[in-house]
Amino acid sequence: MPQKTKETPMMEQYLEYKKQYPDAFLLYRVGDFYEMFYDDAVKGSQILELTLTSRNKKADEGIPMCGVPHHAIEGYIDTLVDKGYKVAVCDQLENPADAQGKMVKRGVTRVVTPGTIMDKSSQAKDNNYITAITSNRNGFGLAYADLSTGEVKVTSVDNELDLTNELQNLDTKETVVYGKFPQKYLDRLRKIGILISKIDELEENYSFDFSNITSENEVSTVKLLISYLIKTQMRSLDHLKAAQSYETSSYLLMDHSAQSNLELFKNIRTNKKSGTLLWLLDETKTAMGSRLLKQWLARPLISVDKLKQRQQLVQVFLDNYFQRSSFQDYLTKVYDLERLAGRVAYGTVNGRDLIQLKTSLEQVPEIKSILLDIGDDNLSAYVEQIDEVADIRDLIDKAIVEEPPISVTDGGLIKEGYNDQLDQYLDASKNGKQWLATLKAKEQESTGINNLKIGYNKVFGYYIEVSRGNIDKVPEDRYTRKQTLVNAERYITPELKEKENLILEAEEKSKSLEYHLFDQIRSKVKKQIRRIQALANILSRLDVLQSFAVVSEDYHYVAPEFVSGHQLEIKDGRHPVVEKVLSNNSYIPNDVFFDQETNILLITGPNMSGKSTYMRQLALIVIMAQIGCFVPATSAKLPIFDHIFTRIGAADDLISGDSTFMVEMREANDALKHATENSLIIFDEIGRGTATYDGMALAQAIIEYIDKNVKAMTMFSTHYHELTELESQLPGVKNVHVDASEENGDLVFLHKVLPGPADKSYGIHVAKLAGLPDEVLTSASKILSGLEGNSVHTTLSESIHEPAAQIQAQPSVTPVEDETQLSLFPEEKPVKKESKKENQVIKELTSQDLMSVTPIEAINLLYKWQKKLK
Ligand SMILES: Nc1ncnc2c1ncn2[C@@H]1O[C@H](COP(=O)(O)OP(=O)(O)OP(=O)(O)O)[C@@H](O)[C@H]1O
């Protein structure tokens, strides 16, 4: 930071502002540039790839400096904010010419932060939530707002885990804290990419609707959020809606890992929307609809009544194809009303925005009449509530031209006939131009100069231009020379100057009157923001419901029936996303059935047969049902679930430094502790992250625990075939397997789920499909046969209770020489005497615990061995 030398007045002013915004890049307007100094300049020049210069080049210790042109500032702000930084914009508040040698008045006019940035077109379909968190004796408060749509919500949670989950589910980029908050916890949030903004003082003087919140803790959490918004936004927050309190338990709960494991919003491999449930379901026509769909998916309902209402409207859209299509046509012409309302409140709305608002409102009467025409009582009752906001539509129609300019200060915005005074000015300026045209003709005639022109420039206004060849014809007594160009001379006349005053005055006055009128219109629209928001709310709901109808029709989904009690029956269920991706109806449908007695479906089957798909399919069907959508099945009877827990795939939590197995156990623990008999648990190969016996023991103990204590409907896939014996020991466990068959030594996946356990695991067949070298496969088959021949397995329940020493003392398996056992790969060559390298590979291979390796690990091992042998 700065040295203690005497600063110039400007740098003193800069440092004063910088002191107020120490955690933001301060962009400080100097002339046509926004400059950064000191550390901001050093860091900013790197991030924005700007040239770093020095303010005081002569001095040894020049002040580092870099700048961006004022007209390009928005792009630079976006880049900084995208990277998680804050930016404070310090503007010149007066024209430098008026400062009369004194320091130009400046002030910070806005602070842009990751949680409050608005209007990024790339994010039209996403909410950007700024959050605030508080801690209290009973737990934590969490409030969030989307500044561009005006939504404000607040909730309370018991513990840090739930708080983090909620923050992650909201995908917040920034959270506000006040006073003391456990530092360790804040560090964790920073690690998952959330910017922490601290404030030291709460704002007092503002009006905001707290009437829907009763809890004091929640009120203070919202107050914290609003205080931060006032501090950073420095403009009207009138569009913020009344804060709503919500309880996380009034929705189907899914923690962040469940949301990402089930690929609701982001594809795990690409991190993109493609291949996700959102991608499949999003046939919305408006950005508001798309955002609402995302919110519904993040918070499925648990109220059967509400779900039935949604289902019923989906059915109406399904039954009325033609009305649905024309409704869609009109919807596509509706702009983002929520965000337009936000811009109106912020005062950043321009003429084009108002025309977008008008165009959107113009669609509403048509939309209403199409929907009422369907004649469905429920839909009609809903549609009747639509306020067309016709007064605003008519006002804009009367006042604003159809194609207004972007700028609101340069005129050209207001329609003729809207204001008498303005019409007069416009007339004067128009007449003036007509007068100029007549003057030109007159002068051409009187001087005989045919190419005489009349032009205008900012320095000396209107002039007559005569080309050099005609100068001798200029009437010197009437014309006064003003400017000499290479090929022409420019003149003025008293008559021209007199008229010029009138024309320019009219233009000037009309511009300022137009701005004044525009401002009045903007204020009138601002007063009706609540009505525009209410309209946006209804249209976006209808948009999502029509989207459900489109998807349900395209993929032949059915309305699920909600049943009470511990039972579930899905006929011909499909994984919606895999089905969409697979071409020509090649998806094999499968039933799922839980009766009163069944708690756990134990799923076995070869790798790649479809176990994970089958389990995910159930979770996605449940989620689709609980957002009111139809589901991929020929029939579905489902209970209402309260919570979905998943343990799927190998997700290392690199941030917290936990290993795969640790994450696996943490997620299992979460489910065992919090699941109820109304929950759904999806456990994909629990226990595979550790040694076979440990893994198997844990898996069995978990199954027993769920069956005895939790009683949640559970799908449990495993490669531990020994676990299938549990069916005979535990009343709630039922075996199913995904079928596969062997044809001429090749594995054929049937993807059909059948009752009972799988007979074989076919791991080596899958390795063959992956293209591993014959030599490795042959070797693996030999070893497998040896293992099977020397089987050391006692029954599982016996083995897991053996002392560790005894387990380790079991005989290690040596390669088997008996070729008669090799049936898998008949064309194999005679076994030659092993070299040192081969012996090493065989040794590693035989000591490998095949039951505990994942398919990926197996492929890696095989790759390593092949490399060695080569
Ligand atoms: N019912 C089905 N119909 C058609 N194809 C399917 C079906 N189920 C799964 N598949 C296909 O099989 C592939 C593998 O399925 P999945 O990942 O569910 O297997 P898995 O048994 O869980 O394998 P692993 O045990 O190796 O994890 C899927 O990507 C999908 O393309």
Listed residues 523, 546, 575: the one ending a domain: 523
Pairing, β 590-594 against β 568-573: antiparallel
Q: Is residue 710 part of a domain?
A: yes
Tell me the whole-structure pTM to 2 decimals. 0.79
Cβ of residue 608 lying under 6 Å from some atom of ligand 1: yes
Q: Which atom of ligand 1 is nearest to the CA of 575?
A: 1
Beta bridge partners of 717: 603, 684
Q: Is 611 annotated as a binding residue?
A: yes
How high is the pLDDT of residue 103? 84
CATH code, domain carrying 56: 3.40.1170.10
Q: Is residue 262 part of a domain?
A: no
Which of 865, 850, 845, 810 lies closest to 688 in space, CA to CA?
850
Which of 442, 441, 439 lies closest to 502 in space, CA to CA?
439
For 685-750, give the secondary structure using H, E and C. CCCCCCCHHHHHHHHHHHHHHHHHHHCCEEEEECCCHHHHHHHHHCCCEEEEEEEEEEECCEEEEE
How high is the pLDDT of residue 679? 96
Cβ of residue 611 lying under 6 Å from some atom of ligand 1: yes
Cβ of residue 232 lying under 6 Å from some atom of ligand 1: no
578 in the same domain as 566 = yes
| Contact between 792 and 810 (Cβ < 8 Å) | yes
The C-alpha atoms of residue 330 and residue 687 are separated, in whole angstroms, by 54
The C-alpha atoms of residue 700 and residue 694 are separated, in whole angstroms, by 10
Pocket test for ligand 1, best of 580, 613, 621, 761 (most atoms within 8 A of CB): 613
Token code pair at residue 467: 């080309």
pLDDT at residue 651 tops 80: no
**Own/partner pairs for 495-503, CB < 8 Å, 24+ apart?**
495/439, 496/439, 496/454, 496/462, 496/463, 496/464, 497/461, 497/462, 499/432, 499/435, 499/436, 499/439, 499/462, 500/461, 500/462, 502/428, 502/432, 503/428, 503/429, 503/432, 503/433, 503/436, 503/462
Which of 80, 63, 306 lies closest to 173 in space, CA to CA?
80
Backbone angles phi, psi at 219, to 5 degrees: -60, -45
Which of 604, 636, 609 lies closest to 623 in space, CA to CA?
636
The C-alpha atoms of residue 176 and residue 134 are separated, in whole angstroms, by 9
Q: Is residue 257 part of a domain?
A: no
Among 54-68, 91-105, 413-427, 733-747, the least confident range:
54-68
Q: Whose CA is nearest to atom 28 of ligand 1?
A: 610
Domain ranges, residue 790:
762-870
504 in the same domain as 626 = no
Mean pLDDT of the chain: 86
Q: Is 607 annotated as a binding residue?
A: yes
Average pLDDT over residues 508-514: 90
The C-alpha atoms of residue 200 and residue 228 are separated, in whole angstroms, by 10
How high is the pLDDT of residue 762? 66
The C-alpha atoms of residue 568 and residue 575 are separated, in whole angstroms, by 17
Instruction: Tell me the pLDDT band of 138, cut-offs 50, 70 and 90.
Output: confident
By residue count, the chain amounts to 870
How high is the pLDDT of residue 657? 54
The C-alpha atoms of residue 141 and residue 163 are separated, in whole angstroms, by 8
CATH code, domain carrying 147: 3.30.420.110
Backbone angles phi, psi at 415, to 5 degrees: -70, 150
Q: Is 193 annotated as a binding residue?
A: no
Helix (H, G, I), strand (E, B) or coil at 454: strand
711 in the same domain as 588 = yes
Listed residues 727, 761, 795: the one ending a domain: 761
Average pLDDT over residues 652-658: 50
130 in the same domain as 32 = no
Ligand 1 centroid – CA 606 distance (Å): 10
| Contact between 310 and 628 (Cβ < 8 Å) | yes
How high is the pLDDT of residue 726? 93
Q: Is residue 28 part of a domain?
A: yes
Ligand 1 centroid – CA 785 distance (Å): 27
Q: Whose CA is nearest to atom 15 of ligand 1?
A: 610
How high is the pLDDT of residue 415? 94
How high is the pLDDT of residue 850? 74
Cβ of residue 588 lying under 6 Å from some atom of ligand 1: yes
Instruction: Tell me the pLDDT band of 788, cut-offs 50, 70 and 90.
Output: low
Pocket test for ligand 1, best of 261, 582, 588, 608 (most atoms within 8 A of CB): 608
Tokens 């420095």 locate to: 234
Cβ of residue 649 lying under 6 Å from some atom of ligand 1: no
Q: Which atom of ligand 1 is nearest to the CA of 719?
A: 25
Please, where are the H alpha helices in 118-196? 160-170, 183-191
* Residue-wise DSSP of 650-662: ---BTTTTB-HHH
The C-alpha atoms of residue 195 and residue 192 are separated, in whole angstroms, by 9
515 in the same domain as 532 = no
The side-by-side arrangement of strands in the sheet containing 480-484 is 453-457, 461-467, 488-492, 480-484
Among 575-589, 645-659, 769-783, 851-865, the least confident range:
645-659
Instruction: Tell me the pLDDT band of 686, cut-offs 50, 70 and 90.
Output: confident
701 in the same domain as 569 = yes
616-630 pLDDT per residue, tens: 999 999 999 999 999
Q: Whose CA is nearest to atom 23 of ligand 1?
A: 608
Higher pLDDT residue, 574 or 868? 574
Average pLDDT over residues 56-66: 71
The C-alpha atoms of residue 339 and residue 348 are separated, in whole angstroms, by 11
* Residue-wise DSSP of 274-288: TTSHHHHH---SSHH
Among 226-230, 309-313, 377-381, 423-427, the least confident range:
423-427
Q: Is residue 445 part of a domain?
A: yes
Cα dihedral 369→375→377→383 (10° resolution): -10
Among 26-35, 134-143, 778-787, the least confident range:
778-787
pLDDT at residue 773 tops 70: yes
599 in the same domain as 737 = yes
Ligand 1 centroid – CA 271 distance (Å): 21
359-401 pLDDT per residue, tens: 999 999 999 999 999 999 999 999 999 999 999 999 999 999 9
| Number of other residues whose CB lies within 10 A of the CB of residue 196 | 16
pLDDT at residue 815 tops 70: no
| Number of other residues whose CB lies within 10 A of the CB of residue 300 | 22
How high is the pLDDT of residue 692? 66
Ligand 1 centroid – CA 763 distance (Å): 14
pLDDT at residue 792 tops 60: no
Q: Which atom of ligand 1 is nearest to the CA of 590?
A: 1
Q: Is residue 414 part of a domain?
A: no
Which of 514, 470, 512, 517 lies closest to 490 in space, CA to CA?
470
pLDDT at residue 317 tops 50: yes
Q: Whose CA is nearest to atom 12 of ligand 1?
A: 610
The C-alpha atoms of residue 725 and residue 730 are separated, in whole angstroms, by 9
Contacts of 557 (CB under 8 A, 6+ apart): 551, 576, 624, 629, 630, 631, 632, 633
Average pLDDT over residues 178-192: 87
Q: Whose CA is nearest to atom 24 of ligand 1?
A: 607
Listed residues 709, 733, 761: the one ending a domain: 761
How high is the pLDDT of residue 747? 73
Ligand 1 centroid – CA 628 distance (Å): 27
How high is the pLDDT of residue 802? 36
644 in the same domain as 788 = no
Here the ipTM equals 0.97
Cβ of residue 765 lying under 6 Å from some atom of ligand 1: no
291 in the same domain as 228 = no
CATH code, domain carrying 711: 3.40.50.300
| Contact between 95 and 80 (Cβ < 8 Å) | no
191 in the same domain as 103 = no
The C-alpha atoms of residue 224 and residue 221 are separated, in whole angstroms, by 5
How high is the pLDDT of residue 804? 34
How high is the pLDDT of residue 130? 95
211-228 pLDDT per residue, tens: 999 899 999 999 999 999
How high is the pLDDT of residue 840? 80
How high is the pLDDT of residue 859? 75
Q: Is 608 annotated as a binding residue?
A: yes
Instruction: Tell me the pLDDT band of 653, cut-offs 50, 70 and 90.
Output: very low
Average pLDDT over residues 57-68: 75
Q: Is 347 annotated as a binding residue?
A: no
| Contact between 77 and 89 (Cβ < 8 Å) | yes
| Number of other residues whose CB lies within 10 A of the CB of residue 467 | 15
CATH code, domain carrying 368: 1.10.1420.10
Cβ of residue 758 lying under 6 Å from some atom of ligand 1: no
Token code pair at residue 234: 């420095």
139 in the same domain as 94 = no
How high is the pLDDT of residue 800? 36
Cβ of residue 613 lying under 6 Å from some atom of ligand 1: yes
Cβ of residue 114 lying under 6 Å from some atom of ligand 1: no
Token code pair at residue 571: 């006929």
569 in the same domain as 541 = no
Q: Is residue 272 part of a domain?
A: no
Q: Beta-strand (E) ranges in 229-283?
A: 244-245, 253-254
Instruction: Tell me the pLDDT band of 742, cut-offs 50, 70 and 90.
Output: confident
Q: Is 605 annotated as a binding residue?
A: yes
Query: Helices 529-554 and 494-527, interaxial angle, to 10°?
Result: 70
795-813 pLDDT per residue, tens: 333 333 333 333 333 333 3
pLDDT at residue 94 tops 60: yes
Average pLDDT over residues 151-159: 93
What is the gyration radius of the CA atoms in the chain, in angstroms?
Answer: 36
Total domain count, the chain: 6
Q: Is 805 exposed, middle or buried (0-12, 13-18, 19+ CB in 10 A)?
A: exposed
Cβ of residue 615 lying under 6 Å from some atom of ligand 1: no
Q: Is residue 274 part of a domain?
A: no
Ligand 1 centroid – CA 570 distance (Å): 19
Instruction: Tell me the pLDDT band of 787, cut-offs 50, 70 and 90.
Output: low
The C-alpha atoms of residue 660 and residue 651 are separated, in whole angstroms, by 6
Backbone angles phi, psi at 716, to 5 degrees: -130, 110
Q: Which residues of 85-96 are buried (b: 16+ CB within 10 A; e: fewer)?
A: bbbbbbebeeee
334-366 pLDDT per residue, tens: 999 998 998 888 888 999 999 999 999 999 999
Among 5-9, 247-251, 525-529, the least confident range:
5-9
